[in-house]
Chain A
Amino acid sequence: MSKEVSEEGKTHHGKDYVDPPPAPLLDMGELKSWSFYRALIAEFIATLLFLYVTVATVIGHKKQTGPCDGVGLLGIAWAFGGMIFVLVYCTAGISGGHINPAVTFGLFLARKVSLVRALGYMIAQCLGAICGVGFVKAFMKTPYNTLGGGANTVADGYSKGTALGAEIIGTFVLVYTVFSATDPKRSARDSHIPVLAPLPIGFAVFMVHLATIPITGTGINPARSFGAAVIYNNEKAWDDQWIFWVGPFLGALAAAAYHQYILRASAIKALGSFRSNATN
């Protein structure tokens, strides 16, 4: 959704971009608009497809009978990163292409989505994740149950604290990339032509997976971890589940704070002082 900004009497200070105003905390008017429900449907379908392709890739890899018979961990990382790229590309104009409760949370903290919309998105994402993994289980039932169900757990040799740290930093990378890709100041510098913003977001996911698949199988997406845990329904998956909500949400919070308060210096600008130059 976009808010129309009246520019009467507004001085630009030489900037050719306008930061959108903060989204209202509660925007009940959204509930009457079809575009709100279309966005929810889009988030649901996107998360469903994301979980189906990625978890099917994971199970297919684990099902291998000899060395190199599967797509490899590199292939799994590509599945996650590539799928985020494709789905953010398809969904960006409809719902903003979050596909991840942590991204939604980060954007909510940055006042870019309302609370109503944020909650709606998160619910749609979790439901889509459950359905997506459900499809994988339906198509490959026995290997799904015997090969870990694609669920996120802390690997042997790593402590829960290490896993939590990996999730925090991993989600920071992702959400920080999302903020950079959607920054209106960057849009102005790119002459307002979007240059495949989804691509760096997909690559960020890909690279975080390269780093942390050995530690936790890489959550950085609470819906992804939740969907796999629900369908797999194994005690160890639930024991560690809190890591895959607390970690990503803390990472998103840190990314939102870093981008909004340090890079864009919104708090300092509000004070109207401490500027390097008048047109900053």
Chain B
Amino acid sequence: MEGKEEDVRVGANKFPERQPIGTSAQTDKDYKEPPPAPFFEPGELSSWSFYRAGIAEFIATFLFLYITVLTVMGVKRAPNMCASVGIQGIAWAFGGMIFALVYCTAGISGGHINPAVTFGLFLARKLSLTRAVFYIVMQCLGAICGAGVVKGFQPNPYQTLGGGANTVAHGYTKGSGLGAEIIGTFVLVYTVFSATDAKRSARDSHVPILAPLPIGFAVFLVHLATIPITGTGINPARSLGAAIIYNKDHAWDDHWIFWVGPFIGAALAALYHQLVIRAIPFKSRS
């Protein structure tokens, strides 16, 4: 246990002793771009805050899957859609839960709850490879446990009603499913980047003003748009958890779409934000 509490907020104050990159270009600004996180940081492994962050991601993803998949099962079990919360209710479950959980977890682990978000932030050098891999593993384990609890509540309906697993719906091609996942994840990860932008924090007078709200809304909106296409993955852990517990051929046949799509979308969002919006690589040379 360290002598002082380490601030594990993504990128924030992690390296106070280091000169920020491009510091001469930032002398007139009241914000500092945090330096890129090191690729490997073995020191993290001996810090409790590292494991606390992983546990937080596990619990958050567990609760996320529990609430959302249980909502999906409730809709599927209803005699008709009008007797349930409906597709819109499912979208609210996903978006609202992300809002609540990101709010709770942001100060502990950065509130990713999504391997695609972790991957995007890793590409933007906001966390180390060690931490990124650990988060993704914990998110996947949490998702499996969350879906497992839902199955535990209702084993037979779970298996007969699709288990909340993501598959490409009838009438859509795999290419459409992949495209929808790419754009959907782009919306989410781009919103995450905007919400956590150092420049925005400065413009907001460094007062945090519900950054999780637009992130939750982004998830809700993408679900409204793509539930008819794929049931909306945009979160590989969510798709993996449901697929493992459901364990049917057609869920696994399409499963690659829910990793390739989100990771491509996250990469595009990272590129767009870092290169176009913030132009960080060009600034560091000036």
Q: Give residues in A with beta carbon < 8 Å to B.
A: 34, 38, 41-42, 45, 49, 52-54, 56-57, 60, 63, 66-72, 74-76, 78-79, 82-83, 85-86, 89-91, 93-94, 135, 138-140, 142-143, 192-196, 198-199, 202
Specify which of A45, A52, A85, A142 is in contact with B217 (CB 8 Å cutoff): A85
Closest 10 CB pairs of A and B: A68-B81, A60-B228, A90-B194, A56-B225, A68-B82, A75-B88, A139-B176, A53-B225, A89-B214, A71-B88
The residue on B at minimum CB distance from A197 is B209
Q: Are A66 and B80 in touch, CB under 8 angstroms? A: yes
Other contacts beyond A38-B277, A196-B209: 15, CB < 8 A:
A54-B225, A56-B229, A57-B224, A60-B226, A68-B84, A71-B224, A71-B227, A79-B224, A86-B217, A86-B218, A90-B191, A90-B194, A93-B200, A139-B176, A194-B209
Q: Are B214 and A83 in touch, CB under 8 angstroms? A: no
Instruction: List chain A residues, Cβ under 8 A from B203.
Output: 93, 194
Q: Are A140 and B88 in touch, CB under 8 angstroms? A: no
Q: Are B272 and A67 in touch, CB under 8 angstroms? A: no
Q: Are B194 and A53 in touch, CB under 8 angstroms? A: no
Q: With A38-B277, A52-B225 known to touch, is A139 a contact of B180 (CB < 8 Å)?
A: yes
Q: With A38-B276, A86-B218 known to touch, is A75 a contact of B213 (CB < 8 Å)?
A: no
Q: Are B217 and A82 in touch, CB under 8 angstroms? A: yes
Q: Are A93 and B199 in touch, CB under 8 angstroms? A: yes
Q: Are A138 and B179 in touch, CB under 8 angstroms? A: yes
Instruction: List chain B residues, Cβ under 8 A from A194.
Output: 203-204, 209
Contact flags B69-92 to A (C-beta < 8 A → 1, else 0): 000000000001110101110010
Q: Are A68 and B80 in touch, CB under 8 angstroms? A: yes
Shortest Cβ gap from A53 to chain B (Å): 4
Q: Give residues in B with beta carbon < 8 Å to A.
A: 80-82, 84, 86-88, 91, 171-172, 176, 179-180, 183, 186-187, 190-191, 194-195, 197, 199-200, 203-205, 207, 209-210, 213-214, 217-218, 220-222, 224-229, 272, 276-277, 279
Specify which of A71, A143, A195 is in contact with B91 (CB 8 Å cutoff): A71
Q: With A38-B276, A142-B171 known to touch, is A86 a contact of B176 (CB < 8 Å)?
A: no
Instruction: List chain A residues, Cβ under 8 A from B220.
Output: 78, 82
Instruction: List chain A residues, Cβ under 8 A from B226.
Output: 56, 60
The docked-state distance in angstroms from the alpha carbon of A79 to that of B226 is 12
Q: Are B88 and A139 in touch, CB under 8 angstroms? A: no
Q: With A140-B176, A193-B205 known to touch, is A67 a contact of B225 (CB < 8 Å)?
A: no
Instruction: List chain A residues, Cβ under 8 A from B80.
Output: 66-68
Shortest Cβ gap from B176 to chain A (Å): 4
Q: With A71-B86, A75-B88 known to touch, is A139 a contact of B172 (CB < 8 Å)?
A: yes
Q: With A68-B86, A78-B224, A140-B229 known to touch, is A89 a contact of B186 (CB < 8 Å)?
A: no
Instruction: List chain A residues, Cβ under 8 A from B183.
Output: 49, 52, 135
Instruction: List chain B residues, Cβ under 8 A from A193.
Output: 204-205, 207, 209
Q: With A67-B81, A71-B227, A192-B205 known to touch, is A138 a contact of B176 (CB < 8 Å)?
A: yes
Instruction: List chain B residues, Cβ under 8 A from A52.
Output: 183, 225
